Chains A and B, each alone.
Chain A
Amino acid sequence: MASRLARREAGIGYLLLTPSLFGILAFLVFPILVVIWLSLNSWDLLSPARFIGLRNFTTVFADPAFLRSMLVTVLFVLMVIPLQTALGLLAAVLLSRGLPGSALLRVVYVIPWICAPLALGVVWKWIFAPTGGALNAVLGGTTPWLSDPLLALPAVATVSIWSQVGYVALFFTAGLAAIPEQVTDAARIDGANAWQVFWQVKLPLLRPTMFFVLVTGIISSFQAFDSIYALTPNGGPQGTTDVIATRIYGEAFQTFNLGRASVMALVLFVVLVAVTLAQQFYFRKRITYDLS
């Protein structure tokens, strides 16, 4: 009787899982198998796919455009992550001082984060426009922000930072609020000034928040596509904004080298999994503060 009930319950369990299991197998797991298969084939979608073993891997790793896109992506991440983290932390510290209006500002800063990166990219494309654009109207001159090979990547990174600072600040504000007053008070009593309290007490206690912000930031910056696509189509001036995601898109859907694009996608996947695992490992080793 009991076992029949248990079996019936198990049946219900599997039944409830059926739709999501189908979705996950069909649209997340199966595609990974397909992308591995594609990476071993030469296929332009028109003629039948042709198995070529690892040749896509050798061509991709010798492809200057791909290597450049890796470099561009790393530069992009190196510009975005430190700046958005530092600015987010600064905003959080200032917002946590309890000044009137802080609550409203905190909300306002988050606005860009909920907006479509594509639409924001288009807005900023106008702001950066050499003539008629808002930035040159403020600064004077006709600087071609997005078509100068030296300026394009910093410009693109700026938009990314601009749209994410408020989001980062939100987590730091929550992290700062979670620090018990006893801890900071104790430090003050021990003679620490505000500067020391921040660097030696609060910042170490913010480590879990810091890691969350850094890791999610790195993972999403490695995949950045929408705003970059809008700001600088086709990889920007001399490919200087051709990050890995736009490179994959171009390789797959503009030159229709699905095999090579799949290799690039797999490389990105491996990098992202490595970042995630490294973070897990580091978290387990280093996060020792329990504030609850």
Chain B
Amino acid sequence: MTSPKDTPEATAETDADATTELGAVAKGEPDAAAMEEDTADFPLAEPALRTTRAGRLEARRPSSRPSRTRLGLNLLSYLVLAAGFVLTVAPFILSVMTAFKTPGQFASEPALNPPSPVTVENFITLFTGERNFWAPIAVTAQLVLVVVVGQLGFSVLAAYAFARIQFRLRDVLFWGYLGTMMVPQVVTVIPLYTIFSQLGLRNTFWALVLPFVFGSPYAIFLLREYFRAIPEDLISAARLDGAGTLRILWSIVIPLSRPILATLTIITVVSHWNNFLWPLIITSGRTWQTVTVATAALQSQYNGNWTLVMAATTIALAPLLVLFAIFQKNIISSIAITGFK
């Protein structure tokens, strides 16, 4: 495994040699291919190349030599990036602004005007009376809690078995688990609906959590990769000390796997706070409405009453936005590690 790592450095060395030669050639023949490079960008390219052979990479960095084209490019980049920023953020800001407007101001003034007076009337309406938005928040919070604990716990057990224990059907079962990752939710909701209906579990808390609580093939897959990297010595040492499997899991494997467990926790919280299709289908009425289902119901019931509806979306989005603000570094790297699904 060492040779591939060595190769790039070796290439860099030869590259550097080639560079000086190329530079010399280019000096002699201004029309050479090497000179096609935008000369405005590199007015001092050749001397810089020759004198700083060791620091070649730095010397070649265009940014170290600001020019008018580069400045223009930077400006253009900022313009595009800023446009992206505005387009990304505007829907959130505008919807929150609307949530703090009185219905009267919303009806009489342009949509982009800031709220004046700022009012929490819409939120009060949202949380009182028959709409009582606390209920769906409580349901969703419980659901997320149960799914996170169950799914992660059972996934850890399965992943440990796949990563660290020898048994005959291990590889067959693991490939079977992986295969189920291809099954999309849209395909399983209809049969799941009929199954839960037949069991008399429709519109219960159990129906909301059962399909997810026993573990997820995806989490098992990621955890297995992680567990396999834990040094065998640690585990066999613990076993020699008389620790059983659960003990090893609890006091060695889990503490060492905190980063991946944090990642999976975030993923599970986000995807189940946001889940819509299954709760929409399996619940009816208000008792077990989740936040997303309640938001959709409110929107169709109070169609056109946008100040109230935007208060609901603000509440639906706020917890994850706060979560994101706190854990943005972890979330970004989670997405990069896992593809987030």
Contacts and interface: CB of A to CB of B under 8 A. Distances in A.
B324 A114 contact: yes
Nearest to B38: A193
Contacts of A273: 182
Interface stretch (B124-132, B210-218, B228-236, B256-264): B210-218
Contacts of A186: 15
Contact of B94 (A94, A134, A244): A134
Given A109-B88, A112-B88, A122-B295, A19 B215 contact: yes
Contacts of B89: 108, 111
A59 to B, nearest CB: 16
A215 B260 CA distance: 24
Q: Is the interface of A mostly helix, strand, loop or mixed?
A: helix
B63 interface: yes
B157 A265 contact: no
B238 interface: no
Given A99-B77, A119-B313, A226-B276, A182 B60 contact: no
A170 B309 CA distance: 31
A229 interface: yes
A236 to B, nearest CB: 14
Given A32-B191, A193-B37, A9 B165 contact: yes
Contact of A35 (B22, B32, B191): B191
B299 A230 contact: yes
Contact of B183 (A28, A108, A181): A28
A33 B110 CA distance: 54
Range, interface on chain B:
35 or more
Interface string B143-180: 00000000000110110111001111010010011001
Contacts of B33: 190-191
Contacts of B36: 191-193
B293 to A, nearest CB: 8
28 contacts: A9-B167, A13-B161, A13-B170, A16-B158, A19-B214, A20-B154, A23-B214, A24-B176, A31-B192, A34-B191, A94-B81, A95-B81, A108-B85, A111-B92, A111-B321, A116-B273, A118-B274, A122-B312, A124-B91, A127-B91, A136-B111, A162-B87, A182-B11, A185-B56, A189-B34, A194-B38, A223-B184, A253-B281
Closest 3 CB pairs of A and B: A23-B214, A20-B215, A34-B191
Interface of B: 4, 8, 11-12, 15, 18-19, 22, 32-38, 41, 56-57, 60, 62-63, 73-74, 77-78, 80-81, 84-85, 87-92, 94-95, 98, 106-107, 110-112, 154-155, 157-158, 160-162, 165-168, 170, 173, 176-177, 180, 182-195, 197, 210-215, 217, 220, 245, 270, 273-274, 276-277, 281, 291-292, 295-296, 299-300, 304, 306, 309-310, 312-313, 316-317, 320-321, 324, 328, 331-332, 335-336, 339-341
